[in-house]
């Protein structure tokens, strides 16, 4: 199950699922319907992938489920 993204209140800083605000992005993959951005959290050390998907004219941002 994918996870809703969080952004710090009144800021534009993307938060890790642990609440940490030090995410470093890595590889970016894209095709005609989605963009996948890899991140590593400096706080918890987990690797996450943020997906940006098009669905019936809407743009959906969410964390993909990860195994760690
Ligand atoms: Zn984290």
* CA of residue 55 to ligand 1 center, whole Å: 28
> Model confidence over 17-51: pLDDT tens digits?
899 999 999 999 999 989 999 999 999 999 999 99
Which pTM does this prediction carry?
0.81
What range defines the domain where residue 9 resides?
Answer: 2-65
How many structural domains compose the chain? Answer: 1
Give residue 23 CA to ligand 1 midpoint distance, Å: 8
Edge to edge, the sheet with strand 3-4 lists 3-4, 58-63, 47-55, 34-41, 23-30
Structure tokens at 64: 């993909």
> Which range, of 9-13, 26-30, 39-43, 59-63, averages the lowest pLDDT?
9-13
């Amino acid at each position: 199950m994918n996870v809703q993204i969080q952004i710090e209140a009144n800021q534009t800083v993307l938060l890790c699922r642990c609440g940490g605000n030090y995410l470093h992005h890595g590889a970016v993959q894209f095709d005609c319907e989605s963009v996948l951005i890899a991140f590593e959290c400096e706080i918890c050390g987990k690797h996450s992938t943020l997906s940006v998907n098009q669905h019936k004219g809407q743009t959906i941002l969410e964390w993909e489920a990860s195994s760690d």
